Chain A
Amino acid sequence: MSGKVQVEMALNGEATEFLCEPRQSLLEVLRDVLGFTGSKEGCLTGDCGACSVVLDGRLVCSCLVLGPEAQGKAVETVEGMAKGNTLHPLQQKFLEHAALQCGICTPGFLVAAKVLLEKNPNPTEHEVRYALAGNLCRCTGYDKIVRAVLDAATVMQGR
């Protein structure tokens, strides 16, 4: 009863087709079908944000999206952030501030922070902490992540 279905989406701007079982999440599709392993599996309940991706402009947990729901949609993952060998300013600042230790949460934080800075290019510390409340990190204590995001905002505004 559950044959595979064909889905077409734009993945980081590139037209992409895949086959999946309807029960497979977008996260499973990205990692296991398409080999985009940047998005991580954490809790599988939408609490930790490690699987965060952008779906038609909105930040979502890809573990809570069924693969077929991506039909006709634009999906952006952490793999789309760097341009060739040039890191996105957020990635560069995460490195400079040592805003990661084990790294499992990092792709989700980067994607969530990118969405934040696109909506609000000059956030306060409070706004950064609020916007990243859906991403859990058990290593850093968050402080370095928040500083990296604020520093990236400054750089991206050319200040």
Chain B
Amino acid sequence: MHAITYDSPKSLAQALSLLATAGEKARVLAGGTDLIIQMRAGVRKPEQIVDLKAIAELQMIAFSPQDGLRLGAAVCCARITEDAVIKQHYPGLVEGAALIGSDQIQSRCSVGGNVCNGSPAADTTPALIALGAQCVISSARGTRTVPVEQMVTAPGRTVLQPDEILVEFRIAAPQGHSSDCYQRFIPRNEMDIAVVGVGAAVTVEGGKFTAVRIGLGAVAATPLLAKAAGDSLVGKSVSAESIAAAAVLAQQIATPITDMRGTAEYRKHLVGVLTRRVVTEAAARAKAK
């Protein structure tokens, strides 16, 4: 690996100041499960590493029925999968987080890193899209909030400017009979990258959907919000027919490529299968509440 400097600021203000000075020479480090590999391969060559793990805001897990979940961007996935409150309210997010790599990787990898690495196949991003997560981004110039489906602009690229840090995700508290689900398809049982991943978050009242959001992964250059598919279910009965019709709409926005993990045609088929499965499961979980 090329030579670097390393800083571990204890406050967000210190980190933002370091980035304001260093600009594109710096890159922030959370778990390092993507970044360190990319640096070793020469894909990314930052001169300065700013480790965010000692900053309290980036390690926060806080839930209240009023404000919902505040999830620090550097919280490792192991903490998420161990957290009883997140499991109860956002099981789909936990399903996404639990699928990333081995126990060794879970100890380090973060949801913030999963989004900021910018992979179209990131497992937590479709779950976050389904939940309507908002990304709180800070720089020395101020703070802005971006919906998670707008974070990734191309494979490996995000809306983040060189002086900005993704600090936390904000996710609304589930209202009434609400729940979520994330599933991916891989050709083996564990330790693989999604061929297709789909997340859904639903609210059900009196046997009908009142709100549905569906997120798709690995079927376009960026993770997608399948807005028309979700909206089509609002006001409809929870039935195999309504869900199958929504799955067709989700398939229509998928523009997958053919690669070693699967053909475009196969991926498109899987979008339909997984959309049906996750909406059905999320609705069953919501009804059980």
- Using CB atoms and an 8 Å cutoff, list the residues of chain A in contact with chain B: 1-2, 5, 21-23, 25, 44-47, 49, 52, 55, 58-61, 63-66, 68-69, 71, 112, 115, 130-131, 133-135
Given contacts A64-B36, A65-B32, contact A112 B6 (CB under 8 A): no
**B241 within 8 Å of A by Cβ?**
no
C-alpha spacing A49/B49, complex, angstroms? 24
Q: Is the CB of A133 within 8 A of B191?
A: yes
| CB < 8 Å neighbour of A66 from B6, B33, B107 | B6
Report B-chain residues with C-beta under 8 Å of the C-beta of A131: 103
Interface string of B4-41 (1 = CB under 8 A from A): 11101000000000000000000001011100110110
Report whether A46 and B105 are in contact in the complex, using a CB–CB cutoff of 8 Å: yes
Residues 34-68 of chain B: 1 if any A CB is under 8 Å from the residue's CB, otherwise 0? 00110110000001010101000000000000000
Instruction: Judge whether B252 is part of the interface by a CB distance below 8 angstroms.
Output: no
B162 touches A (CB below 8 Å): no
For the complex, give the distance between the alpha carbons of A134 and B100 in Å.
11
Q: Are A133 and B32 in contact, with the CB atoms below 8 A?
A: no
Within the complex, the shortest CB–CB distance from A98 to chain B, in Å, comes to 25
Given contacts A2-B5, A60-B108, contact A46 B33 (CB under 8 A): yes
A5 partner residues in chain B, CB cutoff 8 A:
6
* Contact surface of B with A, Cβ cutoff 8 Å: 1-6, 8, 29, 31-33, 36-37, 39-40, 47, 49, 51, 53, 76, 78, 101-105, 107-108, 190-191
Given contacts A25-B36, A60-B108, A130-B190, is CB(A71)–CB(B103) below 8 Å?
no
Q: For the complex, what is the distance from the CA of A60 to the CA of B53, rounded to whole Å? A: 15
Q: Are A55 and B191 in touch, CB under 8 angstroms?
A: no
Measured CB to CB, the nearest residue on chain A to B37 is A45
Residues of A within 8 A of B53 (CB): 69
Alpha-carbon distance A22/B79, docked complex (angstroms): 27
- A59 B107 Cβ-Cβ under 8 A: yes
Chain B residues with CB under 8 A of A133: 102-103, 190-191
User: Closest residue of chain A to B191, judged by CB?
Assistant: A133
Contacts of A45 in B (CB 8 A): 37, 40
Report yes or no: B105 in contact with A134, Cβ–Cβ below 8 A: yes
Docked-complex contact A69 and B104, CB < 8 angstroms: no
How far apart are B258's CB and chain A's nearest CB, in angstroms?
24
Question: Distance (Å) between the CB of B83 and the closest chain A CB?
Answer: 15
CA distance A2 to B25 in the complex (A): 14
- The 3 lowest CB-CB distance pairs between A and B, nearest first, are A134-B102, A2-B3, A22-B6
Chain A residues near B39 (CB-CB < 8 A):
23
Residues of B within 8 A of A61 (CB): 104-105, 108
B8 touches A71 (CB 8 A): yes
Residue of A1, A23, A47, A71 near B1 (CB, 8 A) is A23
Residues from chain B with Cβ under 8 Å of A130 in the complex: 190
